[in-house]
Structure 1
């Protein structure tokens, strides 16, 4: 969660699935009047840093809108492809 003057403005879920050696970033949200200021990027970068400190597993997420896809690409996520097919619009963190 990212707060500005004590007010939460951006947050995301981060779920570790040990049995599959993966983690999922989900439910990324920023309050509309605080968008385009880098808060979601900061939340995701922090979650990835904490995850890499504690675990050694793949991190993926699902992106459906173009703005989210640009953010994830900027952070380093790459679209997953199985042959010629995209896999459920999933993106993978490429360390």
Structure 2
């Protein structure tokens, strides 16, 4: 929620700037502020500022650490009779080299 105390020593930014920093819409930033995910303060009647430290904290809490996908293991399937016949035909026609 909005912290009504004056944060004179801590840097704060506008909602639009916070939206750019978090790659989000302004309405989403306001919702995060209302839900207590971000901290901020009022500036006058309508102005709202978001604390930069709360943006950094939010990023750290919601960081997604990419993991390497598990290597796919191909299942060894023996070739079918039709496959072997097709290879033999292509070898006879000279399209595929003969196996040694």
Q: Same fold (TM over 0.5)?
A: no
More helix by share: 2
Greater Rg, structure 1 or structure 2? Answer: 2
Q: TM-score, normalised by structure 1?
A: 0.21
More strand by share: 1
Q: TM-score, normalised by structure 2?
A: 0.21
